[in-house]
Structure 1
Amino acid sequence: MAGTGGSRAATSTTVTYAWRGEFDSADVEALHGEGFGHRPVAYDWFAQVSRHSLGWVCAYRDARLIGFVNVAWDGAGHAFILDTVVSADEQHRGVGARLVALATQHARDAGCEWLHVDFEPHLRAFYLESCGFTAADAGLIRLTPGA
């Protein structure tokens, strides 16, 4: 596996979670492709998150990566939840909420004051009810042509 080692601390008998856990970029890309509806491509996720993120959380069932969330930040008080994804066969079991809870705790421990997330309407209940985010006004400019 590529990556820096985070410890894999068990939170249940079958799923383990790790802050800055080890992963293969191809495994994250496969999850991302499945979750966001695109064909996986060769992408170096490890280089990207290592360079630009406060950290990330991985969820594993045995040795299989089943979930991932990236915590980007501004280097100061603001962190951002990105790329939350759980494999389709593991959804609706609390894995995503646990990923976000661990990301939240590590952002808090790093001294961040705010944790941001944006999401599509069908994920509103997940982020607001399951993860404890509060709805807020925000702005967005699309920088590339839409589909």
Structure 2
Amino acid sequence: MTITYEWRGDFDSPDLNALHAQDFRHRPLDVDWLTRVHRHGLGWVCARHDGDLVGLVNVAWDGGVHAFLLDTVVATGHRRSGIGAGLVTEAARQARTAGCEWLHVDFEDDLRSFCFDACGFRPTTAGLVRL
């Protein structure tokens, strides 16, 4: 299986809405993802298999040295094949190229091994307030 990764690749919002709903287990929404990532992000990485969108990670940033991974998604039939780690690797490379010095990620506890072992993140102390 050949997977290609593309920084700021073109995608259709309905495709990403379906992928996001599948990965985060909610009903499909009508989000204009292209406008969102262009307006609020440093960039994003698309993963494709035979031209089909099978993964995406959004890279937000503070306009300085901190980048943040958001909405990392991989299609159900393509999980556990290294695509998620490939998305993160390319996102980190591109953030570094843009001058970022730090890449942050929040994750659910079941993704701990993926984030620390597969992607190389280190544990930190952080805080969160639900608004």
Q: Same fold (TM over 0.5)?
A: yes
Partner Cα separation in structure 2 for residue 116 and residue 14 of structure 1:
28
- The residue number in structure 2 matching 1:59 is 47
Q: 1:96 aligns with which of 84, 99, 104?
A: 84
1:79-124 Cα offsets, whole Å, 9 max, x none, are: 0001111001000100000000000000001000110000000000
Partner Cα separation in structure 2 for residue 101 and residue 132 of structure 1:
9
SS at match of 2:89: helix
1:114 matched to 2:80? The reply is no
Q: Percent identity?
A: 58
Q: What is the root-mean-square deviation of aligned Cα atoms in Å?
A: 0.7
Instruction: Give the unaligned 5+ runs of structure 1.
Output: 1-12
Which structure has the greater CA radius of gyration?
1
Matching residue's letter, 1:115: L
Work out the number of aligned pairs and report it: 131
Partner Cα separation in structure 1 for residue 57 and residue 8 of structure 2:
10
SS at match of 1:104: helix
1:109-145 Cα offsets, whole Å, 9 max, x none, are: 10001100000000000000000000000000011xx
SS at match of 2:28: coil
Task: Kindly report structure 1 stretches of 4+ aligned residues shifted beyond 2 Å.
Answer: none
Partner Cα separation in structure 1 for residue 39 and residue 21 of structure 2:
22
1:30 matched to 2:18? The reply is yes
1:43-90 Cα offsets, whole Å, 9 max, x none, are: 100000001100000001112100000000000010000111100100
SS at match of 1:103: helix
Partner Cα separation in structure 1 for residue 14 and residue 23 of structure 2:
14
Q: 2:9 aligns with which of 15, 21, 26?
A: 21
- The residue number in structure 2 matching 1:81 is 69
Partner Cα separation in structure 2 for residue 62 and residue 45 of structure 1:
22
Matching residue's letter, 1:19: W
Partner Cα separation in structure 2 for residue 74 and residue 58 of structure 1:
21
Cα shift at 1:14: 2.1
SS at match of 1:89: helix
- The residue number in structure 2 matching 1:10 is none
- The residue number in structure 2 matching 1:9 is none
